[in-house]
Amino acid sequence: MHEYSLASAIVEQVKKIAQEHNASKVKTIKVSADPYEMVIPDLLKEAYGIIIDELELFKDSNLELLILPAEIICIDCDYKGEPSIEGDDEFAYNFRCAKCGSRDTHLNIRHLTIETVDLEILE
């Protein structure tokens, strides 16, 4: 399961961050992902729940997932940002540059990223 490996990677990274900060608890983790990462939020949360079940550090913590809007880079004018989308289809080949209208664009895929981690720090 795609979400399971993503959740497990998040937990591993946050463990390191928590250790670096001498944290006693992880409270909230905010992550963002591109729509083309195809992450299903409910499955990610479910996988996260299973992984942290036995981990005291993560007890009662929350995982929040933000799905970012699609982003393109235009080959013709270097525009970077949300595309204009033709028709009802959200497939890449229907994307046009929002600035110059060119179809010569590529998707700027942003992989799942940890945005913020809210920790409880021991004094």
Binding stretches for Zn ion (CB under 5 A): 74, 76-77, 79, 97, 99-100, 102
Q: Please, which residue, 59 or 80, has the CB nearer to Zn ion?
A: 80
Q: Please, which residue, 51 or 77, has the CB nearer to Zn ion?
A: 77
Q: How far apart are the C-alpha atoms of 13 and 98, rounded to whole Å? A: 36
- Beta carbons of 112 and 79 less than 8 angstroms apart: no
Tokens representing 109 are 């895929």
What is the closest distance, in whole angstroms, from the C-beta atom of residue 95 to Zn ion in the complex?
Answer: 11
On the CB side of 30, CA atoms within 13 Å amount to: 6
What is the closest distance, in whole angstroms, from the C-beta atom of residue 82 to Zn ion in the complex?
Answer: 12
Tokens representing 93 are 């080949």
Q: Please, which residue, 44 or 74, has the CB nearer to Zn ion?
A: 74
Q: How far apart are the C-alpha atoms of 77 and 91, rounded to whole Å? A: 21
Cα–Cα distances in Å, from 102 out to 18, 37, 85, 95, 107? 45, 24, 12, 9, 13
What is the closest distance, in whole angstroms, from the C-beta atom of residue 71 to Zn ion in the complex?
Answer: 13
Q: Please, which residue, 65 or 72, has the CB nearer to Zn ion?
A: 72
What is the closest distance, in whole angstroms, from the C-beta atom of residue 96 to Zn ion in the complex?
Answer: 8
